[in-house]
Every structure is written in C-alpha cells, then in structure tokens.
Amino acid sequence: MSRENLQDLKRHLPSLAFVGIAGAVIGVLAGAFIYAGIYDIGADAPHTKLVYWTIENLRDRSIAVRARGISVPATLDDKTNIAKGAGLYAEMCSGCHLAPGMEKTEISQGLYPPAPELSARLGHSAAEEFWMIKHGVKMTAMPAWGRTHSDDLIWDMVGFVRKLPSLSPQQYQALVKSAPADHDTMMKDMPGMEKPEAGKSP
C-alpha cells in the first residue's frame, strides 16, 4: 500500500481517543444495564430473538470447535454397548430429554432453554454429542457427566442416543430392559461414586 493510500485510510479511521471514549461509554452503559437488573433472567421469560440467536450460535460454534479431532470409536454401534447406553439414558437423561412414548415431565416443562427431545431429532455429530455429554453446557441444565462417568460409558450413551429416533416406545422399553447391568453396577468403579462400607461414616 502506498504512503498516500495509507494516509487516506488513516483519515477515514476514528482516532484512538474517540475509540477509547466510545469503549468507556459502552462499558458504563453495559455495567448500568447489568446492575439495574433490567434483563429478566427468569426461566419462564424467554430471551429476546437477538439474545437467543447469539447464545445459540455461541453454543453451537463452541461445541463444534472443541469436538474437532475427537475420534469416534468403531464400537459405537455395538449392541451390548448400546444396551448399556439405554440403561444409563433411562436413569440419567429421560427426565429432561424424554423418550419414545413418554409424557412430558415436570422438569422438562420447566427448563429454559428447553432440553431437546432426542427421540425426535439429532442436531449434532457423534463427536459433538460426546463432547456435550462429557463437558455439559453452561447456562442450561446439561451437566458435565464426564466428572463421574468414563469415556467408555459416555460413548455408550452416544451410541444409544443416535439410535433413539428410530425406536418405537416398545423397542425403547425392550432396549432399556436389555441393559447388561443396572446403573449402580455400571457406576461402581467411577470416581466419587464409591459407597461407604456398612457401619462406617463417609
């Protein structure tokens, strides 16, 4: 770029002083907005369209970027693993995400943003689902199950979730009943899940 063009560009750019003052004003207004409690944070008051769009795109891009490089195991479609995932899903997830033939629960109706009904649609890749289940999602009711569940168990849940939209209510119930172990048995060796021996305080 020539010196003349550079000087012409500088003339059209705002000065550093103007940028600094504008930034300070915006900061003060944002602080006043937050301190005054103007925005209704209640779960029964939906976000404005702009706020919802911003949060939704922030969430989806954050998940997509962090899920890059996650390798999907070849055993994702293994029937035994899917059955384990079904047992875990029924115990841990169905109260919010529901299941085929299941009525809406009290908690599912009170959540905002609402938890997606996973029997109706899939909106993410297997790697993204693994990341979400493991790490959770801020400012939703989605917990970080990776704190108490191994990667293997999380992949079992992913495998089941990806099969869920194709299941009838009867197939769902049969798959849950086919889980090779109950939830406590699957969780007995997980960190923080050890139960104190009888007669001993934790």
Q: Is residue 10 part of a domain?
A: no
Domain with residue 105: its CATH number is: 1.10.760.10
Cβ atoms of 165 and 121 closer than 8 Å: yes
Residue 126 lies in a domain: yes
With pLDDT > 70 as the criterion, what percentage of the chain qualifies? 88
In a domain, 164, yes or no: yes
> Within a domain: residue 92?
yes
Answer yes or no: is 62 within a domain: no
| 12 found inside a domain | no
Residue 117 lies in a domain: yes
**Domain annotation covers residue 52:** no
**3-class SS string, the chain:** CCHHHHHHHHHHCCCHHHHHHHHHHHHHHHHHHHHCCCCCCCCCCCCCHHHHHHHHHHHHHHHHHHHCCCCCCHHHHCHHHHHHHHHHHHHHCHHHHCCCCCCCCHHHHHCCCCCCCCCCCCCCCHHHHHHHHHHCCCCCCCCCHHHCCCHHHHHHHHHHHHHHHHCCHHHHHHHHHCCCCCHHHHHCCCCCCCCCCCCCCC
User: Which segments of the chain have a pLDDT < 70?
Assistant: 1-13, 191-202
* Number of separate domains in the chain: 1
Q: What is the pLDDT of residue 5?
A: 59
Task: Tell me the per-residue pLDDT of 67-107, one tens digit each, with 9 for 90 and over.
Answer: 999 999 999 999 999 999 999 999 999 999 999 999 999 99
The residues, any chain, with a CB within 8 Å of residue 136's CB and separated by 6 or more, are: 142, 143, 144, 145
Domain of residue 124, residue span: 78-187
